[in-house]
Structure 1
Amino acid sequence: MLLLRNADLYDPEPRGLSDIVISAGLILAVCPSGEIPPASFSFAGEELRVVDAGGDLVMPGIIDRHVHFNGAGGEGGPANRTPPLQLSSFVKAGVTSAVGMLGTDGTCRALEDLLMKARGLEEEGISTWILTGSYGIPSPTLTGNVRRDLCLIDKVIGLKLAVSDHRSSHPSIEEIRRAVSDVRVGGILSGKAGCLCVHMGSEATGLTPLLEAIEGTDIPITQFAPTHISRCESLVKQSVEFGKRGGYLDITAAPGKNPIFGLSTSKVVSGLLENGVPASNITLSSDGNGSMPSFNEKGEMTGLKIGPLDSVFRTVAGMLGTKEFPRSTVISMVTSNPADHLKLPRKGRVCPGCDGDLLVLDGDFNLRYVAAKGRLLMEEGEVTVRGTFE
Structure 2
Amino acid sequence: MVGLIQVRIATETECIENGSILIENGRITAIYQDTPTFPKGTKIVDGGGKLLIPGMVDVHIHGANGYDMMDGTTRSIQEVSKACAATGCTSFLATSVTSELEALLQMIDNVKQVMEDEEGALIAGIHAEGPYLNLKRKGMQNEAFLRHPDRAEMEVILERAGSALRMVTIAPELPGGMEMVSFLHGEGIVVAVAHSDATYEEAKEAFRLGASHITHCFNGMRPIHHRDPGVVVAAFEEPKVSLQAIVDNVHLHPAIVRMMFRMKGPEGIVLITDALQAMGLGDGEYEFGGHQVKVQDGIAKLHDGTLASSTVTMNEALRNTIELGIPLLDAVRMASTTPADVLGLASKGRIAPGMDADVVLLDQDFQVEWTMIGGNVVYRKEEVVPNSPDLFVDTSKKPR
The question of a shared fold, defined as TM-score above 0.5 by the shorter chain, is answered with yes
Select the residue among 79, 86, 93 that pairs with 1:92.
86
Match of residue 163 from structure 2:
154
Q: Distance between the aligned counterparts of 1:65 and 1:309, measured in 2? A: 15
Task: Using the TM superposition, give the Cα deviation of residue 282 of structure 1 relative to its aligned residue in structure 2, in angstroms.
Answer: 1.0
Match of residue 190 from structure 1:
none
**1:144 maps to amino acid:** V
Task: Using the TM superposition, give the Cα deviation of residue 344 of structure 1 relative to its aligned residue in structure 2, in angstroms.
Answer: 1.0
Task: Using the TM superposition, give the Cα deviation of residue 99 of structure 1 relative to its aligned residue in structure 2, in angstroms.
Answer: 0.8
**1:248 maps to amino acid:** V
Task: Using the TM superposition, give the Cα deviation of residue 63 of structure 1 relative to its aligned residue in structure 2, in angstroms.
Answer: 0.3
Q: Distance between the aligned counterparts of 1:280 and 1:134, measured in 2? A: 26
With 98-107 and 63-72 compared, the bigger mean Cα shift is at: 63-72
Match of residue 193 from structure 2:
198
Match of residue 316 from structure 1:
318
CA contact (8 A) 2:336 2:350 kept: yes
Equivalent residues in 2 for 1:351-390, closer than 5 Å: 351-380=352-381
Q: Deviations over 1:263-316 (max 9, x none)?
A: 23x432201234x33331111111122748699xxxx95368764564332121
Going from structure 1 to structure 2, the CA distance change for 1:263 and 1:329 (only over 3 Å counts) comes to: same
Equivalent residues in 2 for 1:165-244, closer than 5 Å: 171-172=174-175, 175-187=176-188, 194-200=189-195, 203=197, 205=198, 209-214=202-207, 219-220=209-210, 223-231=211-219, 235=223, 238=230, 239-244=232-237
Q: Distance between the aligned counterparts of 2:314 and 2:171, measured in 1? A: 22
Q: Deviations over 1:175-224 (max 9, x none)?
A: 2221121122211xxxxxx21133335x5x4665332335xx5x35xx33
Q: Deviations over 1:24-83 (max 9, x none)?
A: 222222222212x23x153xxxxx432111221111111000122583679xxx9xxx96
Q: Distance between the aligned counterparts of 2:236 and 2:320, measured in 1? A: 24
User: Identity rate of aligned residues, in percent?
Assistant: 19
Going from structure 1 to structure 2, the CA distance change for 1:248 and 1:334 (only over 3 Å counts) comes to: farther
CA contact (8 A) 1:64 1:98 kept: yes
Find the residue that maps to 1:200 and give its secondary structure: coil
Q: TM-score, structure 1 length as denominator?
A: 0.74
CA contact (8 A) 2:247 2:320 kept: no
Going from structure 1 to structure 2, the CA distance change for 1:115 and 1:232 (only over 3 Å counts) comes to: closer
Match of residue 287 from structure 1:
274
**1:138 maps to amino acid:** D
Q: Distance between the aligned counterparts of 2:50 and 2:21, measured in 1? A: 13
RMSD: 3.6
User: Structure 1: which 5+ residue stretches go unaligned?
Assistant: 43-47, 164-169, 188-193
Find the residue that maps to 2:60 and give its secondary structure: strand
User: Structure 2: which 5+ residue stretches go unaligned?
Assistant: 133-148, 278-287, 294-301, 385-391, 396-400
CA contact (8 A) 2:86 2:370 kept: no
Going from structure 1 to structure 2, the CA distance change for 1:145 and 1:325 (only over 3 Å counts) comes to: closer
Q: Deviations over 1:226-252 (max 9, x none)?
A: 112132796367424412321434334
Q: Distance between the aligned counterparts of 1:85 and 1:247, measured in 2? A: 33
Going from structure 1 to structure 2, the CA distance change for 1:385 and 1:158 (only over 3 Å counts) comes to: farther
Select the residue among 237, 253, 262 that pairs with 2:246.
253
Equivalent residues in 2 for 1:326-341, closer than 5 Å: 326-341=327-342
Q: Distance between the aligned counterparts of 1:272 and 1:56, measured in 2? A: 29
Going from structure 1 to structure 2, the CA distance change for 1:67 and 1:98 (only over 3 Å counts) comes to: same
> Size of the alignment, in residue pairs?
339
